[in-house]
Amino acid sequence: MHHFSYVGNNLHCESVDLATVAQLYGTPTYVYSAATLADNYTRLAKGLSGIDLQICYAMKANSNLAILRHFANLGAAFDLVSGGEIRRVLAAGADVKRSVFAGVGKTEPEIKLALENEVFAFHVESEPELARINHVAGKLGVKAPIAIRINPDVDAHTHAKITTGKSDNKFGIPLKFAAAAYEAAAKFPNIAIKGVQMHIGSQLTDVNPFVEAVSKVAPFVAELKAKYGITYFSIGGGIGIVYKDALASGQQSWWDNQPADKRPLTPEVYGAALLPLLKPLGLKILLEPGRNLVGNAGVLLSRVEYLKRGNGRNFLIVDAAMNDLVRPAMYESYHEIVPLHRDTTRPALVADIVGPICESGDCFAKERQLQQVGEGEYIAFMSGGAYGYAMASRYNTRGTAAEVLVKGSTFELVNARESFETIIANEKIPAFLK
């Protein structure tokens, strides 16, 4: 659930009319709800209460400094995948010492940065990486805390580009080779074995793949505890969110009216299914959720530029583009699109909702029905909090969007719209062309 709803006929984020935000800061603009972020974090923590739990927010979903500070204030640590993300956590005034460093391509400078800031653990993806971490730790005269990522070969039944737990994915070490990998790790003088990690994919809407993966890996985890004294088991993230009916899903009545077998996966269902498998291990459990915490907590505001009526096809051309929200172009993903001002007296419009970029792929939806809207009016792309701004680009020399955080009846610009001067600041014309 979330805090976006119509108040009268105007779409609000918490107690803020989104049209006010659009008029003040322009569009495209991302708007995030602080209350929804807090609710999502709290529900997940409560869903797994009764165990020693450490939530490490997967900040690749949305790394805005204000959001990082908000989660840190709530008690979150972070799941890091680059040196830049380590620096972002530090810039947000948050703690790297409870955070984990994942990713298949860690460089020596990134490993050094993580060690210097006393990262909680490295989640190791391969034996060559293990040797590199040992080498860097040795030069610093420290022991590097590690957990090896296990690939359980479990099908997450999600989009092919975001599944990570199958044997043909680039992530982790196959379960059948994991014991040998830990034996190798134990021989390195500057490695300290602390745990074990797994993650099977993103946007899972069924709890069964999680249960299958944990059940498959848990016996091996128990063996590692007995042999190496590991202290934690990280089960990754991946809980999906609502994209279709995203606006309605903010209301309790919507959830109550869904058939039991059709309800989206909730933190409560997730926790109830996994707690019986995790409690007997007697270990700290790490979670690394990203989309689940921020996805439904954000929307992208956009302005209608033109309604182009074609031969049997209408095109609603808006000022947001694939450089602002690439998910539809990259994943063929669905985002609900709604007007900021609702008018039930208007006729329905069926149109392709497209951006201004010179690519046919710059299309958010095909033959989507919404109320008729005209030039200068505003719409919102729902469920834009995850992998929206974080995956933005400057394609067509378009500056990145503004970002706004709402809390109650107040809101503040937390990232100004990128200017042309900023875009070209590091470019130069060489002397031999002058």
- Annotation: binding site: 238, 288-291, 327, 331, 359, 387
The SS3 assignment for 192 reads strand
Residue 56 bears catalytic tag: no
| Burial label, 40 (beta-carbon count in 10 A; 0-12, 13-18, 19+) | buried
Round to whole Å and give the CA distance between 433 and 108. Answer: 36
Rounded to 10 deg, the angle between the 175-187 and 208-228 helix axes is 30
CA distances from 75 to 32, 60, 221 (A): 19, 18, 26
Task: Please pick, among 13, 56, 358, 363, the residue that the annotation labels catalytic.
Answer: 358
Question: Which residue type, as a one-letter code, is found at position 6?
Answer: Y
Annotated binding site for substrate: 291, 327, 331, 359, 387
Annotated binding site for pyridoxal 5'-phosphate: 238, 288-291, 387
- Tokens 């972020």, located at residue: 37
Rounded to 10 deg, the angle between the 175-187 and 127-140 helix axes is 20
The SS3 assignment for 404 reads strand
Residue 181 half-sphere exposure toward CB, CA atoms < 13 A: 24
Angle at 164 between CA 132 and CA 104, to 5 degrees: 15
DSSP-derived letter for residue 204 is B
Catalytic positions, written as ranges: 358
